[in-house]
Amino acid sequence: LMVAFYLTLWATGMSVEEATRLGWINQTVETPSWVHTWDFLQMDKVVWRVLPSQTFTIIAMISVVALSSSLDIAAIEIEMKRPLDYNHELTTVGFSNIVSGLTGGYTGSYIFSQTIFSLRMGIRSRAMGYVIAAVSLVTVVLPFNVLAFIPNFFFGSLLMMICLDLMFEWLIDVREKVTPAEYVVVIMTFCLLQVLGVEFGIVAGICLYVVIDKLGFDVGKEVTTEEEDDVMAAMNNY
C-alpha cells in the first residue's frame, strides 16, 4: 500500500508537502531526542490527592490487563493447537509491565495479532521477536518521526483488517470450538462491552458466566480423561 501510495504521488506530480496539507499524511511534529524522554517523568507534578477517586479505574485497568493477557495467551494457544504454560506466560507479562512502569512506560501484553500473523506465515523462529525489538529500538532512536511518512489510510486499513479478523475468529469461527453455553457468554459479553463500556462490560460478562455456570450449563469446565491425556501428551512433547 505504501509503495502504491508514493507511486501515485509521483505519477500525479503531487508533492509530499501537498499530500500532507490535504490530510493524506500526518503533519510532521518535531519530537525530542529519546534521551530526554525521562525528562517528562516528574513525580513531583503528580496530584496525589485525586488518586483515591481513581481507585475503581485502577482496579479495572489491572483487571483488563490481566484478562486481556490471558485472552492473548488463549488466542495463541488456539492458533498453535497446543497448550501453553499460563503461569510462565503471565509471569513474563507481569515482570515486563513492572520494568515498563518503573521506566515510565505503559502497560501492555503480547502483540498476539503479530504472533498469529507470523504463525500463519510459517514463521516459528524466535528471531522474529528479536527483529521486531530491534526495529522498534531503531524507530525510537531515529532523529525523525517515521510515522510522519506513512499515509493515514494505512493505519485505518490495518485496524480494519485486525478488527474484522478478530471478530470473525472470536464471534463466528469460535462457535465450533466451544459449548453452546460458552458461546452465549461470548456473544453476550461482546454486547455488554458495547453497551456498558470495557470496565463494566467485563464485570457484567464475568457475572453472566457465573450465573450460567451456577444454573448447571456446560461452560467448558468439564474435561474428559481423554482430553486430559491429550493435553499432558502435548505438554510433554513441548
Instruction: Tell me the C-alpha distance between 45 and 56, whole Å.
Output: 22
CB 202 within 8 A of CB 193: yes
φ/ψ (deg, to 5) at 139:
-60, -35
Nearest to 186 by CA among 136, 220, 224: 220
* pLDDT tens-place string over residues 134-189: 988 888 888 777 777 788 888 888 888 878 887 888 888 888 888 888 899 999 99
Residue whose C-alpha cell is 521486531: 132
* pLDDT tens-place string over residues 47-66: 889 989 988 888 877 887 78
* pLDDT tens-place string over residues 178-204: 888 889 999 999 999 899 887 788 889
